Homo-oligomer: A and B are copies of this chain.
Amino acid sequence: MTATPSEAPDSGTGARDSIAAAAPRDRKVTIDDVAARAGVSKSAVSFAFNGRPGVGEETKERILQAARELEWRPDARARALSRSRAQALGLVILRDPELVSTDPFFAQFVAGVESHLSTVGYALVLQVVDGQDAEKEAYSRFAREARVDGVFITDLRVDDERPSALAALGVPYVVLGSPEGEGSAPIGLDDAAGVRRAVRHLHALGHQRIAHVAGGDRYVHSRVRREAWESEMRRLGLEPGGVAQGDFTGGSGARATHELLDQTEAPTAIIYANDIMAIAGISAAIDRGLRVPQDLSVVGFDDIPLAPYITPPLTTVRQDVFRWGNACARTLVALIEEREHAPIDLPAVEFVVRGSTAKVPMPSETLPEGNE
A residues sitting closer than 8 Å to B (CB atoms) are 3-4, 6-9, 11, 13-26, 28, 71-78, 80-81, 84, 86, 88, 95, 98, 100-104, 106-108, 110-111, 114-115, 118, 123-129, 134, 138, 141, 144-147, 163, 166-167, 169-193, 196, 220-221, 223-224, 227-228, 230-231, 234-235, 249-251, 253-254, 276, 279-280, 282-283, 286-287, 304-306, 308-311, 313, 321, 324, 327-328, 331-332, 335-336, 338, 344, 371
Are A224 and B101 in touch, CB under 8 angstroms? Answer: no
Name the residue among A25, A173, A306, A313 with the largest chain B CB count within 10 angstroms. Answer: A306
A283 — nearest CB in chain B belongs to which residue? B311
Number of copies: 2
Are A21 and B335 in touch, CB under 8 angstroms? Answer: yes
A134 — nearest CB in chain B belongs to which residue? B118
Complex Cα distance A102/B120, Å?
A: 27
Are A144 and B185 in touch, CB under 8 angstroms? Answer: no
Task: Give chain B nearest CB distance to A87 CB in angstroms.
Answer: 9
Task: Give chain B nearest CB distance to A350 CB in angstroms.
Answer: 16
Complex Cα distance A276/B308, Å?
A: 11
Are A309 and B280 in touch, CB under 8 angstroms? Answer: yes
Are A118 and B127 in touch, CB under 8 angstroms? Answer: yes
Name the residue among A80, A124, A175, A280 with the largest chain B CB count within 10 angstroms. Answer: A80
Task: Give chain B nearest CB distance to A339 CB in angstroms.
Answer: 12
Task: Give chain B nearest CB distance to A193 CB in angstroms.
Answer: 7
Task: Give chain B nearest CB distance to A338 CB in angstroms.
Answer: 8
Q: Tell me which of B78, B102, B220 contacts A81 (CB under 8 A).
A: B78
Are A224 and B15 in touch, CB under 8 angstroms? Answer: yes
| Given A175-B20, A249-B305, A280-B309: A107 in contact with B101 (beta carbons within 8 A) | yes
Are B305 and A276 in touch, CB under 8 angstroms? Answer: yes
Name the residue among A74, A77, A180 with the largest chain B CB count within 10 angstroms. Answer: A77
Q: Tell me which of B107, B127, B371 contacts A100 (CB under 8 A).
A: B107
A185 — nearest CB in chain B belongs to which residue? B19
Are A306 and B250 in touch, CB under 8 angstroms? Answer: yes
